Amino acid sequence: MPLPAVGSRLSLKGYTATVRYVGNVDGTVGDWIGVEWDDPARGKHDGVKDGKRYFSCLAPDAGSFIRPLPSIDYGRPFLDVLVGKYIEVQHGSATQETVVLGSSNGAIQVEAVNLDKIRGKFSRLERLRDISLDKEGVSRPNPAGEIRAKCPSVRSLDLSHNLIPSWEVIALIAIELPLLECLTLSNNRLQSFQSSIHAGQAFRNLTELQLNATLITWQTALDVIAFMPKLKHLELGYNRLSGLSSTEYPQGSFASLELLNLDGNDLMDWGDICRALRPFTSLRRLILSANPISVIPSITSSISKPSSLKHLALTDTRIDAWNSIDAVSDWCPGLEGLSINGTPLVQVDPETVQTWRQLAIARVPALRMLDGASISPRQRTDAELFYLSLISRIAYPSDAARLAAHKRWTVLCQLHGTPDISVSDSAKDDKLSNHLIEIEAILSSAPPLLSASHDISTVSQTTIRILPSAPLRLLRLKLQKVFKAPRGTRADVWMHMANGKFSRLGNLDGEKGVDENKEIGWWLDEGAKVVVCLKPGE
pLDDT score at 302: 83
Distances from the Cα of 214 to the Cαs of 137, 192, 320, 517, in angstroms? 16, 11, 30, 45
| DSSP 8-state secondary structure symbol assigned to residue 229 | T
* Position 331 in a domain: no
* Position 2 in a domain: no
Containing structural domain, residue 16 = 9-66
Per-residue pLDDT for 478 more than 50? yes
306-347 tens-digit pLDDT: 989 999 999 999 998 999 999 999 999 999 999 999 998 886
1-56 tens-digit pLDDT: 789 999 999 999 999 999 999 999 999 999 999 999 999 999 999 999 999 999 99
Picking from 271, 181, 264, the residue whose alpha carbon sits closest to that of residue 230 is: 181
Strands (E), 7-91: 9-12, 15-23, 32-37, 48-49, 52-53, 63-66, 76-77
* Position 49 in a domain: yes
For residue 31, give the CATH number of its domain.
2.30.30.190
* Position 500 in a domain: yes
Diameter of the chain by CA atoms? 97
161-189 tens-digit pLDDT: 999 999 999 999 999 999 999 999 999 99
* Position 406 in a domain: no
Q: How far apart are CA 239 and CA 187, in angstroms?
A: 10
What element of type H or E holds 331?
helix 322-331
433-465 tens-digit pLDDT: 345 788 999 998 888 876 555 567 778 889 988
Range in 113-117, 407-411, 423-427 with the lowest mean pLDDT: 423-427
Whether 270 and 293 have beta carbons less than 8 Å apart is answered as yes
Whether 275 and 243 have beta carbons less than 8 Å apart is answered as no
Alpha helices per DSSP H over 332-456: 344-347, 353-363, 377-392, 399-405, 409-416
Q: What is the CA radius of gyration of the chain?
A: 30
Q: How many domains is the chain partitioned into structurally?
A: 2
pLDDT score at 430: 41
- Give the up-direction half-sphere exposure of residue 338: CA atoms within 13 A in the CB hemisphere: 27
For residue 453, give the CATH number of its domain.
3.10.20.90
**Residue ending a domain, choose from 66, 92, 112:** 66
Contacts of 19 (CB under 8 A, 6+ apart): 4, 5, 6, 7, 8, 9, 10, 33, 34, 35
Per-residue pLDDT for 282 more than 50? yes
Q: How far apart are CA 141 and CA 133, in angstroms?
A: 13
**Residue ending a domain, choose from 66, 96, 113:** 66
- Mean per-residue pLDDT, 358-381: 93
> In the chain, what percentage of residues exceed pLDDT 90?
58
> In the chain, what percentage of residues exceed pLDDT 70?
85
Whether 533 and 444 have beta carbons less than 8 Å apart is answered as yes
* Position 524 in a domain: yes
| Pairing mode, strands 48-49 and 437-444 | unpaired
pTM: 0.74
Q: How far apart are CA 209 and CA 289, in angstroms?
A: 19
* Position 431 in a domain: yes
Mean of per-residue pLDDT scores for the chain:
86
- The listed range with the strongest mean pLDDT (191-195, 519-523, 528-532) is 528-532
**Residue ending a domain, choose from 37, 66, 95:** 66
* Position 507 in a domain: yes
- Give the up-direction half-sphere exposure of residue 136: CA atoms within 13 A in the CB hemisphere: 23
